[in-house]
């Protein structure tokens, strides 16, 4: 039985996998079982932002494994305390550590529901069309895409949906039961849509006016992906609660929900918990990630991003199947007038990994460590792909 047969025989058929058996990964490269090398412009959905097996991260992980792998939230693990301090200091407030993005959002939603409950019996949460917040039942309900709601009805109450970048549509939904607003500053799974400054500023004003918890889901767009540590730094707008996961430990499972001073003390003992959350090995990795993501490092990634957009806009001039190039930092989408599937297959064949979060959108989430040379190599393959389908 080969690897692909094992998948099709023993796994629940939840995800259609790409035809790539991964043998090895290092930096911006992945190798398959035959030794073929790929340039990875997806990093496992914006997880290995520092590149695969970043040296500092690997070193920190190995060191932690010489001590222990797990102690649980019932005791003190110094490495976990150190990470909590770093994250709380970066955002200002208090942190809860978990394992996955969905859990980080569950925590934020629970916090908002408790706050709403204790301040006038409020429970409604405004989310956005085209959003993505996770795969648990609650975070599926928060996700503004009908395909994720199929078979789950009745959905847990009560999420209502406004239009992204349309502040008037948010105003219309606010009532005396509204407890929170949850939004991605850059919609990732939805197809790379960047919030406008006006929109996020408008949400901040509404949240303050109505005493609503403003939650930013930065699970995909945070942690350097947009060229800033937090995406909100581009906007001059700070949420009350932020959720992080994906890239936080550069490949190990970890997530964080951070609440500002006001909301950091909503939970009291017993309100929330976790077995694996804040795993010491993952925390050691995350401490190394934070150290590596210096302002200089991030600025450098913005320079590379600028170069990438210039090259992609050149392609846009050349091929009219490219409708739009959009994004911020190294979080990039190419909107096509055709399905992206054939382009994806061609790229994979030629050794470039990209992805399609929506039918007509090609998404690129390369490691933040890529060079202009890597951009040139990727753009050359994309150019060839577009010329083939033209
Ligand atoms: C990936 C993602 C999630 C869910 O994270 P998991 O770790 O898969 O649970 C939530 N929100 C956003 C914006 C994401 O990109």
Residue pair 253/97 in contact (Cβ under 8 Å)? The answer is no
For residue 129, the Cα-to-chain-centroid distance in whole angstroms is 17
pLDDT tens per residue across span 301-354: 999 999 999 999 999 999 999 999 999 999 999 999 999 999 999 999 999 999
Q: Report the relative pairing of strands 159-162 and 186-187 from DSSP bridges.
A: unpaired
Of the chain, the percentage scoring pLDDT greater than 90 comes to 99
Average pLDDT over residues 146-165: 96
Residue of 48, 189, 222 with the most ligand 1 atoms within 8 Å of its CB, for mutation: 189
Q: What is the mean pLDDT of the chain?
A: 98
pLDDT tens per residue across span 217-263: 999 999 999 999 999 999 999 999 999 999 999 999 999 999 999 99
**What is the predicted pLDDT for the residue at 57?**
98
pLDDT tens per residue across span 75-119: 999 999 999 999 999 999 999 999 999 999 999 999 999 999 999
Atom 10 in ligand 1: residue holding the nearest Cα: 133
**What is the predicted pLDDT for the residue at 344?**
97
Average pLDDT over residues 29-54: 98
Please check the confidence at residue 390 and state whether its pLDDT lies above 70: no
Average pLDDT over residues 165-193: 98
Q: Closest ligand 1 atom to the C-alpha of 220? A: 15
Atom 5 in ligand 1: residue holding the nearest Cα: 101
The alpha carbon of 220 and the centre of ligand 1 are apart by a number of angstroms equal to: 7
The alpha carbon of 139 and the centre of ligand 1 are apart by a number of angstroms equal to: 9
Residues with CB under 6 A from ligand 1: 100-102, 105, 132-134, 184, 188-189, 217, 219-220, 245-246
Q: Closest ligand 1 atom to the C-alpha of 136? A: 9
Average pLDDT over residues 25-49: 98
Please check the confidence at residue 138 and state whether its pLDDT lies above 90: yes
- Of the pLDDT bands very low, low, confident and very high (cuts 50, 70, 90), residue 60 is very high
CA pair distance 138, 159, nearest whole angstrom: 9
**What is the predicted pLDDT for the residue at 102?**
98
Going 64 to 72 to 47 to 242, the CA torsion angle's sign is negative
Q: Which residue shows structure tokens 């600025």? A: 299
Please check the confidence at residue 7 and state whether its pLDDT lies above 80: yes
CA pair distance 329, 364, nearest whole angstrom: 11
Residue pair 61/284 in contact (Cβ under 8 Å)? The answer is yes
The alpha carbon of 322 and the centre of ligand 1 are apart by a number of angstroms equal to: 27
**What is the predicted pLDDT for the residue at 389?**
86
pLDDT tens per residue across span 343-387: 999 999 999 999 999 999 999 999 999 999 999 999 999 999 999
Atom 8 in ligand 1: residue holding the nearest Cα: 101
The alpha carbon of 100 and the centre of ligand 1 are apart by a number of angstroms equal to: 7
The alpha carbon of 314 and the centre of ligand 1 are apart by a number of angstroms equal to: 32
Q: If you count them, how many residues does the chain have?
A: 390
Q: What is the DSSP string of 225-269?
A: TTSSSSGGGGTT---SEEEE-GGGGBTB--EEEEE-TTTTTS--T
Of the chain, the percentage scoring pLDDT greater than 70 comes to 100
Atom 15 in ligand 1: residue holding the nearest Cα: 220
Q: In the chain, where does DSSP find H-type helix?
A: 3-10, 43-46, 55-65, 78-91, 101-118, 137-142, 167-171, 197-210, 280-292, 295-318, 341-349, 372-389
**To which H or E segment does residue 30 belong?**
strand 29-32
Q: Closest ligand 1 atom to the C-alpha of 103? A: 9
Q: Closest ligand 1 atom to the C-alpha of 139? A: 10
The alpha carbon of 318 and the centre of ligand 1 are apart by a number of angstroms equal to: 35
For the record, the structure tokens of 225 come out as 């992906």
């Amino acid at each position: 039985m080969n690897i692909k047969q094992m998948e099709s025989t023993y796994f629940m058929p939840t995800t259609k996998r790409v035809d790539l058996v991964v043998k090895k990964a290092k930096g911006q490269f992945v190798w398959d079982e035959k030794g073929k090398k790929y340039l990875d412009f997806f990093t496992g959905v914006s997880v290995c932002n520092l590149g695969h097996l970043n040296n500092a991260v690997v070193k920190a992980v190995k060191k932690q494994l010489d001590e222990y792998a797990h102690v649980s939230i019932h005791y003190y693990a110094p490495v976990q305390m150190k990470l909590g301090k770093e994250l709380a200091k970066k955002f200002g407030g208090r942190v809860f550590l978990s394992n996955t993005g969905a859990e980080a959002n569950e925590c934020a939603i629970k916090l908002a529901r408790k706050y709403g409950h204790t301040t006038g019996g409020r429970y409604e949460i405004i989310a956005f069309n085209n959003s993505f917040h996770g795969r648990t039942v609650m975070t599926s309900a928060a996700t503004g895409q009908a395909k994720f709601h199929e078979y789950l009805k009745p959905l847990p109450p009560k999420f209502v949906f406004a239009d992204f970048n349309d502040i008037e549509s948010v105003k219309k939904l606010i009532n005396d039961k509204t407890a929170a607003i949850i939004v991605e500053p850059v919609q990732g799974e939805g197809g790379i849509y960047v919030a406008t400054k006006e929109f996020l500023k408008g949400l901040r004003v509404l949240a303050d006016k109505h005493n609503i918890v403003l939650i930013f889901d930065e699970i995909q767009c945070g942690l350097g992906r947009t060229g800033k540590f937090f995406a909100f730094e581009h906007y001059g707008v700070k949420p009350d609660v932020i959720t992080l996961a994906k890239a936080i430990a550069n490949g190990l499972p970890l997530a964080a929900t951070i609440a500002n001073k006001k909301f950091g003390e909503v939970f009291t003992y017993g309100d929330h918990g976790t077995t694996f959350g804040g795993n010491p090995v993952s925390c050691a990795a995350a401490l190394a990630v934070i150290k590596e993501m210096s302002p200089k490092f991030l600025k450098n990634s913005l320079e590379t991003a600028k170069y990438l957009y210039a090259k992609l806009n050149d392609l846009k001039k050349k091929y009219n199947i490219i409708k739009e190039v959009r994004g911020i930092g190294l979080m990039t989408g190419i909107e096509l007038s055709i399905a992206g599937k054939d382009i994806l297959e061609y790229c994979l064949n030629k050794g470039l990994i990209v992805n399609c979060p929506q039918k007509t959108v090609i998404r690129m989430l390369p490691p933040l460590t890529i060079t202009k040379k890597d951009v040139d190599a990727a753009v050359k393959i994309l150019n060839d792909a577009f010329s083939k389908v033209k």
